[in-house]
A and B are shown apart, each in its own frame.
Chain A
Amino acid sequence: MPEITLIEGLRQAMDEEMARDDRVFITGEDVGPRGGVFRATVGLFDKYGADRVIDSPLAELSIVAIGIGAAMAGMHPICEIQFADYIFPAFNQIVNEAALIHYRTGGDWHCPMVIRAPYGGGIGGGLYHSQSVEAFFAHAPGLKVVIPSTAYDAKGLLKAAIRDPNPVMFFEPKKGYRLIRGEVPDGEDVLVPIGPANVTRQGTDVTVYAYGMMHHYALQAAQTVAAQDGIECEVVDIRTLVPLDKETVIASFKKTGKALIVYEDNRFLGYGAEIAAILSDEAFEYMDGPIRRLAGLDVPGVPFAHTMQDLFMPSPEKIASAIRDLAAY
């Protein structure tokens, strides 16, 4: 089975879905001949032409809104936002139009589209090229929110997102674009359904919940504490943030009684806060320690200097340390 990078998984997903359905098209800044700033769409312009891989003006709200209008009219757009940090001009269009149109028209219309955006820190991108924005969108019912952490899921979830009849926010851990590699079968219709979380490591002592790059780190940390401390972590890759697979999340907590939720967005009101609230509400009697969060610090941005960036972000070492604390509680 060939080993590919996470970003190659994304590229394959788009390629295959465009071949399958000519209503699928891509638009965004420099997605065409250049192949996208991270080269996620490389080769697709040559294969599918300018009508289906459309370079947009530098105008995020238009990229998204064009997609919404076209999706309402029956197309299946994939809108690429170059960095998640740039998505805010389109915020109104996403939460007020894409999320709402099916609801406000009593089901007359719907909006089958994917909005892709690379997110997250750790690449020295600084304030406007490092942000995690998932919580803003997870807060808006009507949107689905997906974050893959493996090459296989990147491909399978993106294909599922393109086929989904709802607007799907698809955030990609850009630090993992080429760092994360994995086996993905060739010539098979790799589909990962939107919805189920994935228990990626079995354990009995502590459950670590994470998604995206933090899931990748969580697995590393789990191996470290197993080898060094004999602590057996269960690791749950959330991967679909909305709708959340509460069943899997709660089942793991019932097994371990201890939860560490890791996300690189700012801690306060971040996505992990909702998981903590659900666990305390719906699995209170299984609690065997404080529900802990390890997250980005509550500062306005991810600073440029690598020293500060490293202080800001959760890392495998910090996760391992938090696991040890919780296991000892």
Chain B
Amino acid sequence: MATPKKDTLLDWYRQMVLIRRFEERCAELYQQGLIGGFLHLYIGQEATGVGAVAALRENDHVITAYRDHGIALARGLDPKAVMAEMLGKRTGVSGGKGGSMHLADRERHFWGGYGIVGGHLPLAAGIALAAQYEEKDEVVLALMGDGATNIGYFHESLNLSAVWKLPVVWLIENNQYGMGTSVERASGAKELVRRALAYSSEDGSGMKMGPRIDGMDVLAVHDAVSEAIEHARKHGPILIESLTYRLEGHSMGDPQRYRTKEEVESFVESGPIGRFRQVLIDKYKGVESTLDKIDEEALQAVEDAVEFAQNSEDPTYEDLISHVYVD
């Protein structure tokens, strides 16, 4: 696969930094009590989200689970509207009804984050069925965590997509832990991508088992997901697995007794943003100043988003009772 152009790579860097800064600020706001409820950070997994979403066309579709801030921002949702949603404001992407775990934007074909683990997977199959029926050349990218591969939705959805040859890329973001339970404590197959074999035939029909990829390398993710999307477009479903790592707890306030500090530290060093920054510095002489500028702009964009959100109106009683039914 041809290496993307410099501008594209810089844009991926920008997205990854924006997501990181955005979420760091969210953590602060959470601790200040300005973001309520639950907050699941994507920190450490940015390369997977950015690389995968970048492989989509505009008219393709993306759907994910509750750890969705990174995917939303990568898909181009306005950080202001996302931050306003985090703070439960009228100006949020869902008018404050969705919150952190349920961001969605119809225009950008971002079908949302979903709060029930695995519950969105059969919906992805339905979206793909509609695209197939209407003979639209559109692919659905369905992301999920490793934990979702153990619930029935996953298996029914994979089977159905194989039977009906639906244009879906099933992408497991294996961040090693389903909340506090490590993959090998929850799954019979340690290599989760092998689950595809259960829905594939000897003659190659059915679900394609795709690669396990280095999810900390945005270039590797982009390459693999691009190939997977082409497969889905032409032949039907494929399962791929991105090996990544969640550097923060499952959600805010997670004491993380299930893993050691040393383990976490080992992933900090190989973190996706620093790694990609180094790739860019090695590749483009004198790019540091550009990267520094991107870093500053990301900080500013996040501050602007916070200001916008904080100055936005709270939802009203009318908002509460609206959108129960379509008239």
Contact = CB atoms under 8 A, between A and B. Distances in A.
Contacts, number: 125
Interface string B272-294: 00000000000000000000000
Interface stretch (A33-41, A100-108, A216-224): A100-108
A135 B61 CA distance: 35
B179 interface: no
B125 A93 contact: no
Given A73-B130, A103-B323, A142-B324, A65 B123 contact: yes
Interface string B71-113: 0000000000000000000000111011000101110000110
B132 to A, nearest CB: 9
Interface in A10-65: 25, 51, 54, 56-57, 59, 61-62, 65
A71 interface: yes
Contact of A65 (B125, B322, B325): B125
B157 interface: yes
A57 to B, nearest CB: 6
B326 interface: yes
Given A57-B160, A62-B160, A65-B153, A107 B130 contact: no
B97 A66 contact: no
A51 B133 contact: yes
Contacts of B156: 57, 59, 61-62
A104 B94 contact: yes
B163 A57 contact: yes
B127 A69 contact: yes
B131 A73 contact: yes
A321 interface: no
A230 interface: no
A1 B86 CA distance: 60
Given A106-B97, A108-B94, A67 B325 contact: no
Given A74-B130, A104-B97, A105-B112, A66 B324 contact: no
B129 A61 contact: no
Contacts of A75: 129-130, 133
A109 B160 CA distance: 24
Contacts of B129: 66, 69-70, 75
A291 interface: no
B119 interface: yes
24 contacts: A25-B133, A57-B156, A57-B159, A61-B152, A65-B119, A65-B122, A65-B126, A68-B122, A68-B126, A69-B122, A69-B123, A69-B127, A70-B129, A92-B119, A96-B115, A97-B114, A104-B97, A105-B97, A105-B104, A106-B93, A106-B95, A107-B323, A109-B106, A166-B325
Given A61-B122, A69-B127, A106-B95, 9 more contacts: A61-B156, A62-B125, A65-B123, A70-B133, A103-B324, A104-B98, A106-B97, A108-B94, A142-B324
**Which 8 A/B pairs are nearest by Cβ-Cβ distance?**
A69-B126, A65-B122, A73-B130, A106-B95, A69-B123, A165-B326, A66-B126, A108-B106
